[in-house]
A and B are shown apart, each in its own frame.
Chain A
Amino acid sequence: MIHRKPQPRAPRNHTALVSLPNINDVVTPAPASGSPSLPAISKRKFLDLYSSSVKRNRVLIKRSREDENSVGGSGQISGEENDVADVKPSEESRRRIGNELGEHERAESTDVVERNGDEVAEGNLEQGLEEWTMPCDTKIALELMRSQFPKVEKSSVPPFVLRSQLYSSVNDRTLVDRELERMKLDRLIRVFKLSTGQDEHAIMLMADYVAQINASKARLAKGKHSPADMAVFDWFVRHVLPVHFDAGITHSKLVDLLSEGGEVRDSHITLLMNAGLLTRQLGDGTEYWLAIPNVGFLLKSLTGGRKEIISFMSRRKYKEMLQVPLERRRLQYSVLGMRFHIRDLLGLGHIHTVNSPSGPIIRLSRD
């Protein structure tokens, strides 16, 4: 069951609804013919009939504003129609996320979507409908989790999502990988390799990342650095980020890309490393990982929280616990929240859910 909040009525200003089958044509009888060929229905009744689709149309429009780069969904989804009446796909795709963590997740996703939808209803609807493409499963899951990222007062890192969390939310892992790759090439997101494990990746929206770079630049500007040195941040954002999509970069490539902005010196690279944007790769002198600045505290939280949950579960008699009381527990070593860690561990395969008559149970996986 998807719980929807009551929607306000469509605006009386019909010019905004230009793209819909024109209400005025249907409702007001054509002046040319004497007898009304169409049944006379009042505007209110028409709106009642079409109100549900109007609501859903708003949801569609909201998506189009975000997907301005026209993210093409994978082969499975792109075949579906863009009809106004046929809106099942967006609900289906939300349902398809298969989020076992409770229906309140789904309710929250629709809340997020409809809250933003209200703002956009008066926007460029006609253009929006034409350019609208179905958002892919991964994008929906990504936005859902980003909106639920816990607020941490201590650090100012914008929300990121771990790849294992996406794996636990979307059924098909290959689909997640491919859609992430496509979004990466469309420059919507940025994927970073974390130092917490061998295959850990964090995904952040490009806009968030650029904002974080600017924040760290502002923080560094308080120190004594010449403005010529500070220009390296602009070169990074303008020349390196749009072109280089990998999580790592070699020294020579970095220098080549940065030198489009100006002459690059070693002090520039040092400045980038001090800001936390670059980290040296272990065992290799000349390669760097691109990194999120100021993320160290959260990574410590991540590993601590994981270890805490696993040790807690392994201490229990049958290595399992009901999900709902588990989510209510507080973590001592992590600020990221129980839900974040549960999703992450589900994606990694360390725990799995089992359905039982008293609700979903989280069980520790045995090798």
Chain B
Amino acid sequence: MWRGLRGREVGATRPRSLATHVRADRVRQINLSGHKEIVSAHNSGINSLQIDCTEARYLLAGAADGSVGVYDTQQPTFMDSAIKVAKHEALFTVDKSVPQGHIYSVTCVQWYPVDTGLFVTGSFDKKINLWDTNTHQVELQFEMPEKVHAIAMSSIAATHMLVAAGTEDVRIRLCDLASGACTHTLSGHRDGVWALQWSATSEWVLYSGGCDGAIRFWDIRRAGCFQVLDQNRSQIERRSNVTSSTQRQELASAPVGSSSTSEMQRPVAKRTKPSTVSKPSKIAKIKDPGVRRSHPGMTLANDRSTAHHGSVTALQTSDDGLNLFSAGTDSRVRLWDIESGRNTLVNYEATKIRTHQGTQLAVSMDSSLLFVPSAHSLQVIEISL
């Protein structure tokens, strides 16, 4: 480490490469910290954690008793010199004693992506609150029809301030912080939505994973979702061809990719032993009039392909925005190629995910390690691409 710093001083190594090198080293030797302790101010289990992305300093925690706490991870509040441990206590907590505070379990918390002046929380009491960090009060409250499982705000959004909310209701709602109203309703899932993630490359694209096992991609400027991930459509090693979204419906070239359950499939393209006699009648039969008349955004509404055999509990995009990780209650963590929408068939073993609500996945900064909570432990898995 000191040698690396000396090299950076002299100019032998680039500053950025030293930083990534040190970071990668530390992540690989991850261990419970012996000199720093965060003292929890909650009386129950903690459901959701987030460190703000602007300064990487303040930790926001939502617990099952309805309390939300903010901790400073860099400046300790109390230094125990006897055992040489720095203790970080909560800067403040808000719970049901605050007017309009949450009364049931808080399931998801997120900092406002621009600065740490605001944060958003969602809870089982069917409400989403927008809190002001300095006054510790609720600024805005959105009412949801069902218990809230997941919220997400886009960290690269420049033109909108929408909070995506996933509840036990099948529709995803987008709530606008500027106006205080719900602007969008995205329908397509068949069961509750447990995982939401905004795209890392586009501020208009939202990924959602539901209890029905489906993962859908939504472009909020259009109606309906534009892609549904199917675990049977897979690619081995390479993307077959990166085509436009309309052509994605048809089957890709023969060696890679298998059939999809979508009704827009043209069987002529994928037939390996074409029967010339029945071809014209085949085409006539496939195009049933109902499909042709529907709105282009609604063609995927009837698509029932699933990404997991159970429910999808967590979604996470990699930093470069090319890959999507999804964890499901069938104890599988799958890696998807976002551009082609296919399963890359990478198998992450030994994950026992048995949850009744959404969880979080995390990817390390250089996109080389994946952190998966499984049963009683946290698994750190190398991402192989």
User: Which residues of A are interface residues toward B (Cβ below 8 A)?
Assistant: 75, 167, 173-174, 176-178, 181-182, 184-185, 193, 198-199, 242-250, 252-253, 256-257, 259-260, 284, 287, 349, 367
Contact = CB atoms under 8 A, between A and B. Distances in A.
Given A245-B259, A246-B232, A367-B376, A174 B346 contact: yes
A97 B325 CA distance: 29
B79 interface: no
Majority secondary structure of chain B interface residues (helix, strand, loop or mixed) = loop
B100 to A, nearest CB: 38
Contacts of B237: 75, 178
Interface string B308-351: 01100000000000000000011110000000000001110110
B42 interface: no
B113 interface: no
B314 to A, nearest CB: 17
Nearest to A347: B349
Given A246-B232, A250-B304, A184 B261 contact: no
B271 A199 contact: no
- Interface centre among A198, A242, A245, by most chain B C-beta atoms within 10 angstroms, is A198
B270 interface: yes
A198 B310 contact: yes
Contacts of A250: 261, 263, 304
A233 to B, nearest CB: 18
Contacts of B271: 243
Contact of A173 (B282, B304, B347, B377): B347
A260 B261 contact: no
A174 B345 contact: yes
- Interface centre among B255, B309, B310, by most chain A C-beta atoms within 10 angstroms, is B309
Nearest to A250: B261
25 contacts: A174-B345, A174-B347, A177-B347, A178-B237, A178-B345, A181-B258, A184-B258, A185-B255, A198-B331, A199-B309, A199-B332, A243-B267, A244-B259, A245-B258, A245-B259, A246-B258, A250-B263, A252-B263, A256-B285, A257-B267, A260-B278, A260-B282, A287-B304, A367-B352, A367-B377
Contacts of A177: 345-347
Interface of B: 232, 234, 236-237, 255, 258-259, 261, 263, 265, 267, 270-273, 275, 278, 282, 285-286, 304, 309-310, 329-332, 345-347, 349-350, 352, 375-377, 384
A244 B267 CA distance: 10
Majority secondary structure of chain A interface residues (helix, strand, loop or mixed) = mixed
B272 A242 contact: yes
A249 B273 CA distance: 20
A349 B331 CA distance: 11
A287 B213 CA distance: 15
A367 B353 CA distance: 11
Nearest to A287: B304
A144 B111 CA distance: 55
Leading 7 A-B pairs by shortest Cβ distance: A173-B347, A198-B330, A367-B375, A199-B330, A177-B345, A246-B232, A245-B258
A123 B358 CA distance: 59
A55 B330 CA distance: 46
Contacts of A174: 345-347, 384
Contacts of A199: 309, 330-332
Given A174-B345, A182-B236, A246-B232, A198 B309 contact: yes
Contacts of B255: 185
Contacts of B285: 256, 259
Contact of A181 (B234, B270, B278, B329): B234
Contacts of B329: 198
Given A176-B347, A178-B237, A198-B309, 5 more contacts: A177-B346, A178-B345, A181-B234, A185-B255, A199-B309
